[in-house]
Structure 1
Amino acid sequence: MKLTYFQGDPPNFGDELNATMWSHLLPADFFDDDPAQLFIGIGSVIQHNYPSDAKKVVVGSGYGGYTKKPNVHDGSWEFHFVRGPQTTESLGLNPDLAVADAAILLRETPLPAPATNFKVGFMPHYESIERGNWKTVCDLAGITFIDPSHPPDQVIAQILGADLVITEAMHGAIVADALRTPWIGVRAMHHVHWFKWYDWAKALNIDYNPAFLFPSNLREAWALTTGRAGSGRGAMAVCTSRAAQPLNTACHHLAARSLQKLAKSAPNLSSDAETERATDRAMSAIDGLVAKYTTNRAFS
């Protein structure tokens, strides 16, 4: 079975968890490079563009609306559990499959030592690293910048060590919640990312109300107000021109104040009971997966 996940440039924390987490939960020889069976794990990777003759084995993924809906009833899909009820509703699946994002299973793996010497961290969406100026903003706000393109263990250590994580990246919230670090989710600068947040939150009965965070520069303001990515030539030329620099600097300071204000607001955290219930259900699904695909019950 081939481990299949989104591999971006720069790498994205949530997706890169696939490369590290599953080795602690599945037998050492579970994965190979056989494209006839695809293991679809963490991420919004229930999509239509997989080979039609490949078996798609879904373990905690979600539908994110990034592609058209796949025909999951064509006989080539096998579902063990999915991220949330919006995925099951969108794809016409059994509602009982809506358990949680697979990253909740970090709770069942060895974890790095918590990072020290900071209280509040902010993690942008990985696309906002290139488009925004969040390291500058965090420095102005006195808040630790958590880079979602850094190695997963480094990011996990920062989440574990924080008193509060403010995050535009959904897996910043998912991992914080799983590891019991209070978090505040901010509305993603690009609307295409909104659907998946509610999918995950509903699975854990989280009353999710994303906070507004002032954009860190004119490109992000463009993305927020137009619904576009802020990467077109026209937007790039105008938003990064010398004439725009005073406005970009003003955005830095306004975004820093926005972060400081958010850091004083009430955070989110699912109940212990919901998190434990979802973890148990996800682990039961993993047990069933292993029983089906291997007779080797010795975990790595």
Structure 2
Amino acid sequence: MTTPPDPNHAPLFDMDAPVPLTPVERLLALADLYTEHNDPIDLLFAGRASHDPGASVSSARRLEREALASIKAVRQQRLPAIEPVSSAVVRLKQIAYLTGGATRYLTAAQQALPEGDAEHARPDPRRGFGQYVRLARELTALAPAAIIESATHIAARLPDRARSSTTVPGMDAARRDALLEVARGHVIVTEQYGQRGYGHTVSVDVNVLRHLETQELVIRKPASAPPFFPGGPPGDRVRLTCLGLSVLSTVIDSPLHIGLSAARPVPAPAAATTARARR
């Protein structure tokens, strides 16, 4: 039985798009979907959002489907069965399997949801509804970074015909690394006392991210990420745009590719969005 699409959780990318995503672009989009799935759960435990059980279950099921579809797209390239490519594919399979487990936990959480308005309170992560949600969150916690690592190894062995060649002016190692941090779900923006701050465990230069925003390679999703400190306001998640996704896929596997490949005209961001994604 096919699950009907959820109008409130449209796919990040349209599989019927006129310009199909390359295998690496699909993996980058998949990593973004996992970050988008994890953030509302983190906001729930931070006491900054209520829980929508049906949406969480639907999201987890979609993640599992997209993970399996991404694996299929990679295997269709008939890559050599060598390390680290074979391990990268196995890792993607593990992520899909763990996501299935997360779906089951979220379904159990849906059934254990307290009656009345109790779902609006911060859940107890040690029992009942909160415990199921916590266990589900743990199963998808490492997915974005693991997918990016796998995509890096897979990109190194893909034939040119299966790769994007989209480039933008000024791309260098610092900008590439910042895009990678965004793809891993590591970059959140907050505005405190009139100043903008970017942060995670890995330092990302503020000016570099501002430049990426100017080039329309990244965007901010307001109040969609957990706060930096308990009781703080939600942060703005920084995410790749469709153009940013395509550009990163071109340079993900080696900094030596940056600025050396022959550039083709870059489509206007609006056109790229229409062709490649539906947000």
Higher RCO (C-alpha 8 Å, min separation 6): 2
Report the TM-score when normalising by structure 2. Answer: 0.30
